[in-house]
Structure 1
């Protein structure tokens, strides 16, 4: 059977709670509008050279400098927010037109110690809801459902998606960083030059012999969390 990874994305999106001062500035109050100044000619800002930029720990102008440090930076930044979401999707297409899909999603409310974790492989969907150091599990397979609950300490770090992102840091060699300005700060785009162990990044039932090509794109926010990743 001829299979190839069509699109795989891993996206870490920060969602801040209402009233957070990081969105509004100062004490969170909405600033009063100020008079619009008269327009004056402005010069185009000179781009800052890569070697003069401050990159998140673990990264540099020429790629990922230390995979372990970069992974730790992602976790530390994500868990430093009041709340966040992480989503990972993969679809593997076969030569006969059928698809195998997998979705992993977390939604974390760290301030209140609550979180939802979801895994869906197209056949079985597993929901895990964390609250008050207890996890409630619901497993759905077709028309059948099963429930369970057990004590488990709430751990924000394990819900940041690193089980999917760490291989992209460790087993890929990236080229020069490309700064991209956004409304939420600068994002650095890294494009792969060589993937050293593609089979480690993909799911266990895909062999390297089945992979036609492998390219990775990594989007790293200036704060240090991985905002997005794509490999095809």
Structure 2
């Protein structure tokens, strides 16, 4: 989906980077533990490019794509050395193959139809080198937060409130309201849907992948369990 410029700026400046930063460190640990060498990576729905930057800093030829021009503009400004594309994840076809494709931050839950996810999986399979990995997360239906507001302080003057609601069709709406000095600056509504993890894994197998892991924790020795399913698939 395409985010407003205001949302992209808040995303970049005040706290949304914690997830790609944390996942990036886990990913590097996973590679080290399993002696996996990655030369080229692609991050689908990369946002402001934080995960790409982490991989790039560790010698990986990282690239990213996102549907939001605002997110990509920030990503390019943060690190001009990394290649980024503005594109639709459903139809995106890069001109090279990768050892690793990632798609995190429940980005696939923004894709409303399983048929479109099927198309993404087919494309990713073709865009991977033989033996390459596809790693992503999707929301865990049992862990989706209920309809209670969550308040977060970005700074002494900037506050945000999050409210997750469900509509009759089973879709999730995340409403983000940002305040500065007590005055509402903007509001953003993001639509998502929870996909059954078994159906998602079946689509991976249909497209030729071998599912190596589908779990609510990424690292085997990790003590904290996530509100998402982590999926590791291999071509």
Give the TM-score taking structure 2 as reference length: 0.26
Q: Which has the higher strand share?
A: 1
Q: More relative contact order in 1 or in 2 (CA 8 Å, sep 6+)?
A: 1
Give the TM-score taking structure 1 as reference length: 0.27
In our comparison, the structure showing a higher alpha carbon Rg is: 1
